Amino acid sequence: MTWSITRLSSMAASAKSDPRGCGSLGGPDCACRAAVTRAFQGMTRSGAPYDSALSAARRVFHHHHPEFDIGVNELIERWVSPESLH
């Protein structure tokens, strides 16, 4: 799925300023990454199953970026993964 994540990043980088507060996808000015991570962590801390937390994080992501569909699951999993260095 590397192609999908790369494509998402390049599409986001070329997009105009987002009215929901997002700049480049996953970049320092991207408000959605923090919101997605917060939603996922809040769900898991409250005892929700991993799949439910991931679903909530996906809904938050789609609120910020409704134009993206392909590769979203992999991107979100990379963001919320405890092994993630970013």
Residue 81 — very low, low, confident or very high, per pLDDT cuts 50/70/90? confident
Q: pTM of the full predicted structure?
A: 0.67
Predicted pLDDT at 31: 79
Classify each residue of 15-43 as buried b or exposed e, where b means 16 or more C-beta atoms within 10 Å of its C-beta: eeebeeebbebbeeebebbebbbebbeeb
Please name the residue ranges forming H helices in 1-86.
2-14, 31-45, 50-64, 72-80
In tens, the pLDDT along 23-69 reads: 666 666 677 888 999 999 999 999 999 999 999 999 999 998 888 88
Predicted pLDDT at 30: 74
Predicted pLDDT at 25: 67
3 state SS of 8: helix
Predicted pLDDT at 32: 87
Query: Which residues are bridge partners to 17 per DSSP?
Result: none
